[in-house]
Chains A and B, each alone.
Chain A
Amino acid sequence: MTIFTVALKYLRGRLVASTLTAVSIALGVSLVVASVVLGRGIRDGFIAGATDYNLVVGAKGSPTQLVLGVIFRMDLATPNIEYTTYRDLQQDPRVETAVPIGVGDAFRGFRYVATNKAYFAAFPWRHKTFALAAGKFFTDDPPSKPAYEAVLGAEAARSTGLQIGDRFYEGEEMAEYPLTVVGILRPTHSADDRAIFFSLPSYWGMNEVARGMAVKPLTAVLIRPKRMSDLPSLNRELNVATDTQAVLPSAVLLTIFNMMAVAENVLKMILAIVGLIVLLYVLVAMYSATMERRREIATMRALGARRATVFGIILAESAGLATVGGVAGLLAGHAIAYLAGLVLGQSGLVTNPLRFNLFEPAVLVSVILLGTLAGLLPAVLAYRTEVAENLAPLS
């Protein structure tokens, strides 16, 4: 029998205690893995879902609300700006492309996004591509004759079950203005998958107040400048103006990342304490197990087992528990991150919780080393077990 087979036999012999120890290690590791994978996933989700446009122009207010509302649709829309803002920006010699956006109500939680065809255009500088899975894009209808045609994001179509030709509306007051599905987009792995797109004239036609307005409202304008170096001046001018704000979406996201980093640091401290508690638990469990079987160890010694062999068996037990707990913890961590990712996905942020992180092998090796270390004191105790003392008659 090798050291490892004896250690395995001992672990099997006290299956409940061994399982509980491994589960506690797994819980500690899963918390670390889930928090890191999820934190990284949220960051990557924001980066992947960010717009290709470099400036977002909207009404005065919170820059974070503007970006989260218009790009990620995770917040309420900011107040309206005038359509003339879009027209002015379109004619600005520094602007290459301006895209108007109107964010409105929702159908079964999937946000209405009014825009024009430029939103879906495949410019050479764009990373994001929009392709139709079925149907066609909505027509650029005139304001006097809205077509009420809708193009659904992939997730919006899947969840609602709407098909090409279906008509839908939400709320009795919208019954007069039902939208007709004319197209369904392929997945873009961004918040656009959960949006319902239609034209600006349809957006204005659906709203009683907007119908009567001489200058139509918008939520925001997305800007691509001809020269990136013109961004600061555009940004400054639109912010100095009394009715608009301009935001660099990446600047807002980096500020969010900064805030997340503070929360992550607090979480790291909590996780370090959890790790310490798990380590102590393993130490106590192994110590108790060793104390309970001092008589068995003395018998082994009496039958010829060397001190080093007994020492090795206890260490192998600790390492075995740490390995099983560590591997189970890695898997459980990804499972927790996956479930949390599903919840986040409903709010518009797409994460990839199954993505393997380079820190994971390091976590596993650390857990095995620390787990083995926790078995060191009990192993020394076993090493020093005196045969004569522990083989004395029990009664």
Chain B
Amino acid sequence: MAAGLLLIFLPIAAPAGSEEIERLTFAQLVDSIRADSAVTETIKSYNGKQVAIQGFIVPAGAPDLSFFLLSRVSALGNYCCEAPVGQDETVYVFTTKEVNITYDPLRVFRIIGVFEAGMRTDATYGPSLFRMHDARVEEAFGAKIFKTEEFRASGSKP
């Protein structure tokens, strides 16, 4: 949950050299959803632009990670307190180049790719609200998961 809160409320400065790439947060994605799975024009204005989104990788497709889900919360932490999120906080990510990472379900990754918002159905992966194409994956240095003592020190209740 802590990591989820971190992802929503703490926009992290982009690393040097990638200042041009705008960062989108899951909070912005959730806020953009309207009735009947429509999305706001504001979020649509990012369509076709390269953006960066940070989150947890859910390897829902092939193990070469040519497709995966990017989620606000880790999908594979079965004993954590926060329930998995749905379509509103999930980005469908499509990569074209080989993804060479050390996969860790509990690590936050930074995905940079061409953004697309709006309901669309893919023949292979079904319907989705948010997508990223031609994406590349980077480790999100600085987006650490709170340790318990840090969480308590911050005054929050788990």
Contacts and interface: CB of A to CB of B under 8 A. Distances in A.
B105 interface: yes
A32 B119 CA distance: 48
B84 A233 contact: yes
B63 A231 contact: no
Interface in B112-144: 123-128
A232 B58 contact: yes
Contacts of A250: 59-63, 65, 68
Interface stretch (A194-202, A255-263, A321-329): A255-263
Given A229-B128, A261-B102, A239 B78 contact: yes
Contacts of A235: 75-76, 78, 84
B151 interface: no
Nearest to A49: B63
A233 B83 contact: yes
Among A124, A226, A235, find the residue whose CB has the most chain B CB atoms closer than 10 A: A235
**For the side of the interface on B, what is the size category?**
20 to 34
A379 interface: no
Interface residues of A, number: 30
Interface in A277-315: none
Contact of A251 (B76, B83, B86): B76
B128 A258 contact: no
A47 B84 contact: no
A348 interface: no
| Residue with the highest number of chain A CB atoms closer than 10 Å, among B58, B60, B62, B85 | B60
B103 A251 contact: yes
Interface of A: 46-47, 50, 54, 96, 124-125, 225-233, 235-236, 239-240, 248-251, 253-255, 257-258, 261
10 nearest A-B pairs in the assembled complex, by CB-CB distance: A232-B84, A232-B75, A250-B59, A254-B103, A253-B63, A229-B87, A229-B90, A250-B63, A239-B78, A233-B84
Given A254-B63, A254-B103, A257-B63, 11 more contacts: A228-B60, A228-B69, A228-B92, A229-B87, A231-B60, A232-B73, A232-B85, A248-B75, A250-B61, A250-B62, A250-B65
7 contacts: A125-B123, A125-B126, A225-B126, A233-B86, A235-B78, A236-B83, A255-B103
